[in-house]
Amino acid sequence: MNPNLTSKFIDIQNVEQTFKTPKGSFQALRDIDLSVAKGEFVALIGHSGCGKSTLLNLIAGLTRPTHGVLLCADREIAGPGPERAVVFQNHSLLPWLTCHENVHLGVERVFGKAEGKAQLKSRTEAALALVGLTAAAHKRPGEISGGMKQRVGIARALAMEPKVLLMDEPFGALDALTRARLQDELLAIVQRTHSTVVMVTHDVDEAVLLSDRIVMMTNGPSATIGEILRIDLARPRNRVELAEDRDYVHYRKAVIDFLYTRQGHVEKAAA
Amino acid sequence: MVSAVFHSPSASRKPLASVTTTSPVQAAAARPVFVGVPDATSASTERPGAAIRPPRDLRAFWLRVLPPLLGFAVLVVIWELIALRSTTGFPSPLKVWQQAVVVFSDPFYSKGPNDQGVGWNVLASLQRVGLGFGLAAAVGIPAGFAIGRFEFLSRMFNPLISLLRPVSPLAWLPIGLLVFKGANPAAIWTIFICSIWPMVINTAVGVQRVPSDYMNVARVLNLSEWKVLTKILFPSVLPYMLTGVRLAVGTAWLVIVAAEMLTGGVGIGFWVWDEWNNLNVANIIIAIFVIGLVGLVLEFLLIRLATLFTFEEVKA
């Protein structure tokens, strides 16, 4: 296999994103150069308005960059697709379909041409089992809790066996306890599936606990990558043990230092 | 009729509010004897422990039934007053009731095309509404989808819609008579042209209001246009569509009466005008009630249909 491919599975080259607004053009991102290796877990962190969701949308292909190019597995990202599955902040489950049908929608799209109904069904059930929701398969999103809805969203994304899993603050809308539980589940799933993950978050602990590298972004507008911190904590990671781990505390401090000391003055920048 | 639902004044009665604070046995003893409400009395004798529950259920029941009955009673009183003071022969409630008995005793008689029972008339009107409305739905809903989905079509047709929408249905009637050369098709045309607007507009709005999250899901999943239509657009637009349908049916039912008054033939509107020509005011009043009742039933059925398919509340 092309060695470049493994280390630069996602390759973002010199990307700039400018939006045209009624008040003139607004530069959200500039000079973004980033590469993500296969099987790596990268967290994007920064204050609100630093363009992390914009960057994720660019990787997803939901928007095209004004300047620069994004590559995934050596091919230009020209549009959205199931190989770069997205887990949205608002689960985005279709409320008139059951959980099973929601996941099945993605499965059918990706594997429908090659496989028969029975196989698609077993794929869907496997995905729901992966997130521990076999019991809720025939319930509608309106009948399950927020944490469960988010898990179905993850199941739907993973069921499509994407090359990359993109997550936009997936646990942001949940309470702290549910969030902790889902983070642990995500760790276990990623360990098993060896997925490449890019996750947007504003939670420092989440970023340090889950990721291999943290990409810290400067404040917007015209945000860019401030620093990249490599997290060398052994896997599998246990949050209770890590709470007292010296390295964990050190990494955490580094991120907080970046966010609150060096990029601290968000209100002034926004004004 | 109204007096039968109240309890007999001789039975002792504690205020309902204090029932919950007394012991079950006391509550059972203090409960009034309700005529014609067997469930409540049998419940109190069989299960004194449950005596606390029935009075509250009944109270909720009366709270729902009494105010509308009172409203109706007020109407009847005002009506009686008008009839008493009328010099032009405005019929009293009693006379109308007697006439109604006559009319409804044989609702499906037929003595020729211009003299039919009220049942046939209502059915004829409903049939016209059904046809006109069905055509309007068949044309309007797909048009609404197209206009909502494609910005260009929206810009093309919105001025036209805004221009034609406020036109009174009766202004369309002569055109219908001219083009279709008959009362029946002209009436159906009038229903069509008036009930189509709410359906087009509401469907278009519904399509435009599909949450962008769902469309993003469709994009990430790379769904085909057909799948987007059936799995995302249609279910998401359905509540708006059903609102449009409800409004359209209301308008259609209104319009048919007016159209039939002008064109004649059969139908409840024709019947109103015919009875006016015969100075049978009692029948006109009966017709008013019939029209209102049928409209109510149609609306009710559609709300039920809407609640089946919506995942948020449908406000009645």
Average pLDDT, stretch A96-111? 90
Whether residues B231 and A84 touch (CB distance < 8 A) is answered with no
Average pLDDT, stretch A139-156? 89
User: Cα–Cα distance between A259 and A196 in angstroms, integer?
Assistant: 25
Where are the domains positioned within chain A?
3-83+162-270
Give kind and range of the element (H or E) at residue B309: helix B281-309
Residue B310's closest chain A neighbor by CA?
A96
* Cis ω for the linkage preceding A221 (within 30 of 0): yes
pLDDT score, position B14? 42
pLDDT bucket at A138, cuts 50 / 70 / 90: very high
A85 touches chain B (CB under 8 A): yes
B306 touches chain A (CB under 8 A): no
Average pLDDT, stretch A224-249? 90
pLDDT score, position B55? 63
Question: Reduced to 3 states, what is the DSSP secondary structure of residue B128?
Answer: helix
DSSP string, B173-208: HHHHHHHH-SHHHHHHHHHHHHHHHHHHHHHHHHHH
Optimal mutation site among A101, A109, A110, interface B, most CBs of chain B within 10 A = A109
The partner residue sitting opposite A94, judged by closest CB among B219, B220, B231, is B231
pLDDT score, position B311? 65
**pLDDT, greater one: B87 or A79:** A79
HEC secondary structure over chain A: CCHHHHHCCEEEEEEEEEEEECCEEEEEEEEEEEEECCCCEEEEECCCCCCHHHHHHHHHCCCCCCEEEEEECCEECCCCCCCEEEECCCCCCCCCCCHHHHHHHHHHHHHCCCCCHHHHHHHHHHHHHHCCCHHHCCCCHHHCCHHHHHHHHHHHHHHCCCCEEEEECCCCCCCHHHHHHHHHHHHHHHHHHCCEEEEEECCHHHHHHHCCEEEEECCCCCECEEEEEECCCCCCCCHHHHCCCHHHHHHHHHHHHHHHHHCCCHHHHHC
Whether residues A86 and B235 touch (CB distance < 8 A) is answered with no
Average pLDDT, stretch A227-241? 89
Ranges of chain B with pLDDT below 50: 1-47, 49-50, 313-316
- The verdict on domain A3-83+162-270 having CATH code 3.20.20.70 is no
Average pLDDT, stretch A89-108? 89
User: Cα–Cα distance between A25 and A18 in angstroms, integer?
Assistant: 7
Question: Reduced to 3 states, what is the DSSP secondary structure of residue B257?
Answer: helix
A85 contact residues in B (CB cutoff 8 A): 220
pLDDT score, position B93? 85
DSSP string, B205-220: HHHHTS-HHHHHHHHH
pLDDT score, position A139? 92
pLDDT bucket at A198, cuts 50 / 70 / 90: very high
B152 touches chain A (CB under 8 A): no
pLDDT score, position B56? 67
Residue B228's closest chain A neighbor by CA?
A105
Where are the domains positioned within chain B?
3-90, 118-309
DSSP string, B33-102: --TT-HHHHHHHHH-GGGTTHHHHHHHHHHHHHHHHHHHHHHHHHHHHHHHHH-SS-PPPHHHHHHHHHH
Least confident of A35-44, A121-130, B108-117, B119-128: B108-117
A106 touches chain B (CB under 8 A): yes
pLDDT greater than 60 at residue A163? yes
pLDDT bucket at A251, cuts 50 / 70 / 90: very high
Whether residues A92 and B219 touch (CB distance < 8 A) is answered with no
Q: Which fold has domain B118-309?
A: MetI-like fold (1.10.3720)
pLDDT score, position A197? 94
Full strand arrangement of the beta sheet holding A225-230: A84-87, A164-168, A196-201, A41-45, A213-217, A225-230
B214 contact residues in A (CB cutoff 8 A): 92, 94
pLDDT score, position B52? 54
pLDDT greater than 80 at residue A267? no
ipTM for this prediction = 0.81
B221 touches chain A (CB under 8 A): yes
Amino acid occupying residue A76: E
Residue A106's closest chain B neighbor by CA?
B221
